[in-house]
Every structure is written in structure tokens, then in C-alpha cells.
Amino acid sequence: MQQLSLPLALPDPEPIKAIWFQEMLQFFGISQCPAWPDRFGLSLHNWLIEQGHSPIKTLSLFSGGGGLDIAFHDAGFDIVLMVELEAKYVQTLKKNSMPGAWLANSKPICIDIREFFPSSDFTVDFIIGGPPCQTFSAAGRRASGVAGISDSRGALFQEYVRLLKTLQPKGFLFENVYGLTGAQKGEAWQEIQNAFQDSGYTIHSRVLDAADYGVPQHRERLFIIGIRKGNYLFPYPTHGPDSPGQEPFYSAGAAVEGADISDAEEGIRGRYGHLLKDIPPGLNYSFYTEEMGHPNPVFSWRSKFSDFLYKADPQMPVRTIKAQGGQYTGPFSWENRRFTVSELKRLQTIPDNYEIVGNQQICIEQIGNSVPPQLGRILALSILEQVMGIKLPFAMPYLPPTKQLGFRQRKRQLTEVYAQKAKAAISNILITKQLTSTSSSRYVNEGKAVRFLSIDFAWNEKEVPDSLKININYNLSNTSWMIIGETGESRKEEYQYIIDICPACGYEDWVLSTNTIKLCAVNLDKRLFTGLWKSFEEKLAEITGMADLVQLSGYYQYPARISGIMTFHSQLKIEPFWRVVQCVVRGIGVANQLSAKRLALLWGVSTDNVFSYLQSLRGMGYEVRNHNTNPQIPKGEYLIPYAFPTLTPKSVQLRKKLG
């Protein structure tokens, strides 16, 4: 019989180790049922007590709702003090520090870390915590950069350093968003590293994805481990393609099984709530964009945050749970509703028996701000073994310093998978004729309406205090839309100006089944100008289903998809400010951060008058930004994102001032 020649087996530079996650569960007698992280934490804590290990005195800073505290408490760290500024979060810490509760015998205090000065006899072995991360967050980057350590919240790490120098523990864990490493062109990250090293610590840092460590949620965070002596390596993932044995991810569907849904509400309310139903699990608002192939796009590509109308996929970990968000901020359940607080706790691996105090929004804040305990437990175990010298009952493999994890690459691959899911879902909708046609029969040939524009830029059908009454005449056809507005009771013969709107060059195939739009003003009135754009936006939503003018034009960091030209009556004497408005409608000085001097040159006006003109534009509903409204914008520069007014009563910018 012929013998087969086997290829020579070369040594693997990174030998496949035993499936250590399975070994851990087997040691504690735990099966992978829903809420297994809770049982793992309890079993680990009880085993350490049985072994008689001396508790490791630990100080918790910026404790929030207690995510890291749960993790380190379970791994044998004695949380002797929890420092938290927010009184509403301290209530949760107190509740769970009572006898018999998860963090029994821990002591929370409500104090600003800048006012926390421990007594001379206060000693600890370890410090954990991560300062507020908003100044390094994705939201900050979206608003033209991040403030980083120049913001008072970003500088709180200095208080962390002060306490390290004062207390000199054996080590510390510092957690923050991964955007910290790129803030201020890397200068903030370098300053933070230098400060920790100058305090006497060797630091080791990695960006980790919580899903790689048994959390049913993709959540990328930066972790810094600082130690005074010895060496430290981060643990290998327990789950996913980078884990030894490639243990499957802990899916969202498995995690929430059996969780309390008694307070679940059916669907989500509001203008866009009905859209959630058709979005395939794993996708978000982008399902309703032209780029995804939707025949009736509602939104423009990348015009919303990625969690806007994001529906979780039960077969995968969810995307990051946000601490704060709007009405349409996901993740939403694949059952087309909001997750309950109990389900969100499961997705964050916060124990079922850990009571979060507060109303629903305060509970969500605490969940979204916390470090997932299961990720924290694995890090705590690695510190327990390497820094504290405690032998673990199972082998924990550690990542070589040069080992790269693949979660970023997998994220890009997953985007392609969901794009295919979107294509299939849209094909199915078309086949079953569930989409509503935007044929010409939906167009109103002629019509009149009365609207009221309030001082906060609400567009109302009924009169409200201090609102402006605007008479609107519509003349809509397949070739052109004409929207005429006036503020008086009597009709004048001629228009004071006309704004012609058409697709920008390269975007001729727009969603409107008409060639041009004309906004015609009978009166030269600033608020009527705003009202005309509101009228256009109203008809846009009514006829196409598109959300607003931003979705038609596109997010401001991309080339505008519409173009506007404002033409005044030939005999009208035009003030300089209206010439500025004319330039802005044309897109001149728009969508770029520009100095007052540069704007003056573009608009042909005096530099001294630019600020007052910008103030007037805000008074017309334009979203004008500067350093006062968005600290990320350099002083002396201004940003007008769009060529048309966009402020509404819900706009964050409405409550800010230019100066």
C-alpha cells in the first residue's frame, strides 16, 4: 500500500495554547448559559476567599456606576474607597456596597477628585479608574477635532497622576476611549505617557475590544497598566478569531435570553420610529441611503452617527452602548423596540443582582459609561498573577508586545457583510412592493398654507407666542417647484428675491422628480427667508420621505449635492448683509473653518463687520460655529456647515452663543 508523504511540521512561532477560557469555566464548574459572566465573577471571588489570599487594597477613581469595581472586587481586590463626583451615580455605589450586596464593605464618597486629598495614613496597593472621555470621543472628532487635555475634563488625568505620586501604589489601571491616542496630533497622548512615567511607573498600553474578552458588545477602549517593578503583558482574548482555539463571540441574542422584559415598550416613537422595522439586524439609518441602494432614500450618507437607528444583530455582539443619545440612538433590539435596562446590563455583563439606581436614562448613562465587568475581570486576573504574584489555577496566555489583534480589520469586513444584507432586504421590499412610489401623482399642483415660525425656529401649523405668520403658496410640477412666501396680508406684484435650487454638478440624479426649485419672497424679511427654506423642507419630507435638507444636500464634510443662487429684484437697494446671505446661499464661505479676514475677502465686506453678520445669520437659523460653541475650532475661525438654515428647537447649537 502506498504511503502518503506528510509535509514537515515547522514550529509555530506562537503555539496554539489550550482553550484557556474553557479551562477557566471548567475549573469553576460553569456552563455557558445566559448570564454566565455573573456566575464566573461570583465563583472567582469565592475561590480567592477560600484560598485565603490577602485582599489587595484598591482605590477606585471616577467610579461611575461601578463597572471596574465589580471586576476587580471579583478578582480579589478590596475596593476600600470609590471616588465619584456625580451624586446620582454614588447612589448606585452605596446601594451595592451594603451588607450582602455585590460590593459589600466598599466605601463610596461623593467628591470632586480635585478636592480629594487622602490622609497621611491612607495606603493602597492599586488604583483603578478612567476620567471622563467626552473630550477625546468620536463626537468630539466629528465636531472638527477634539479638545483633549486642553479641556478641563481632559486634564483630569493630572489629578490621577497627583494621587499616584502621593500614594505610590504597586500599580494602576487607567481606561479611556481609544481616540485619546490621536487627540491633538498625538501631543495629548505623549503628555499623558510622560506624566505617568515621571511618577515612577513603567506603562503598558493597548486598545482592546470588549467582545474579544467575553462581552456581547464591540467596545474599543484604551487600557494603560502602570507598574513600579517587573513586567506586564496583556492577556490573550478569550473569544473571537484572535483567541486560542477561536472561541465564538458571546452573541447579543444569547446574552439577553431570559432577561427581564416586563417593562419593554413596543416600537419606538417619533418621526423616524417607523423606519426601524425594515432595517435588517446589524444595520442603521444608512439602510435608507442612496449609497446602500435604497430607491427612496431618507438620509444622506454619513449624515448621522453610526448608532442612529442602529438595530442589533442577535447573532453577533452589539455595537457600543452609548451613555447618552437622542431618541433614535441604538442599539435597538432586533424585536424592533428599545432594550430594557435588564437587557442592557446583560450586554454590558453587569450582574443581574447588581442594582442600578435611577430612572431609565440615568441607568443607561451608568451602563454606557462603565467598563464591562467581564473584560475588567480578565485584566484584573492578569494583574493578579503578574503584578501581585498570585498563582492562578489555570494557565493564562499572554500577548507578545508586538502581537496585533484583528478587530479593526474584522470591522471593515463586517461592513461588507451588512452591505450585502441591505441589498438583499431592499430587493425583497421591492419584490413585495412594500415601498411607496414617489410618482408624479403624489405631487400637489397648487396649494396654499399658513405657517408660523417661532423664535426657536419651530415650524408650526398653529400660532404660538412671538411667532411670525407666513402665507405660503405652492405651485409644484414635474419640471419645477415654486414656493412663494409673504408675511403681509396683501399680495405684492413682484418678488424681492428668488432662490433657485438645483442639483450640484455631478449630482444631477437627485431624489426629486423635478428639475428646479424656486423659493420666492414677496417681502425682504430675514424670518421669511428662514420660512421659505422650512417650507421647502416640509414639502421635501412630505413628498419624498427624506428627513430634512441636510439629507438632500449631504453631510457638510462632503461636497454639497445641491446648489443655490439668490437673485434680487433689479430695482431693490441691497444692504451689505443681504449680499453676505447671497454668498452663503451660493456656498461661498460655507463648510470650511475660515478666519474673519478670509470671510470678509470672500464676501466682499469689512472684516470689522463679519462677526455681526455671523450673529445675524444665526438669527436666521444658520448653524454658525466658533471656538465658543465648539472648543475644537481654533480661536478666530468660524464654520458655517450648510448653505441653508438648519437650526431647530432640538439643535444643540441653538443653546450656544458665538460670544
Which residue shows C-alpha cell 454606557? Answer: 368
Cis peptide before 297 (omega within 30 of 0): no
Phi, psi of 506 (to 5 degrees): 95, -10
* Position 635, amino acid: K
**How is residue 528 written as a grid cell?**
421669511
Q: Active-site residue among 33, 110, 133, 502?
A: 133
**How is residue 338 written as a grid cell?**
428599545
Please, which residues bridge with residue 208 across strands?
A: 221
Distance (Å, whole) CA 533 – CA 549: 9
Alpha-carbon 436 to chain mean position: 31
141, 134 Cβ separation under 8 angstroms: no
* H/E stretch holding 599: helix 596-603
Rounded to the nearest 10 degrees, what angle do helices 187-198 and 157-167 cross at? 10
Q: Catalytic: 583? A: no
Dihedral (CA of 377, 379, 380, 386) sign: positive
* Position 63, amino acid: S
Q: Measuring CA to CA, how many Å separate 593 from each of 392, 590, 599, 609, 624?
A: 55, 8, 10, 18, 10
- Note the helical H segments in 236-306: 252-256
**How is residue 624 written as a grid cell?**
454658525
Q: DSSP letter string over 344-364?
A: HHHHHT--TTSPPPS-HHHHH
* Angle ∠(437,510,412) on CA atoms, nearest 5: 95
Phi, psi of 375 (to 5 degrees): -65, -45
Residues in the chain: 659
Distance (Å, whole) CA 449 – CA 428: 38
Q: Measuring CA to CA, how many Å separate 266 from each of 183, 229, 269, 328?
A: 40, 55, 9, 14
* H/E stretch holding 226: strand 220-227
**How is residue 128 written as a grid cell?**
483603578
Q: Measuring CA to CA, how many Å separate 558 from each of 119, 284, 285, 555, 593?
A: 55, 20, 18, 6, 14
Which active-site residues does the annotation give? 133
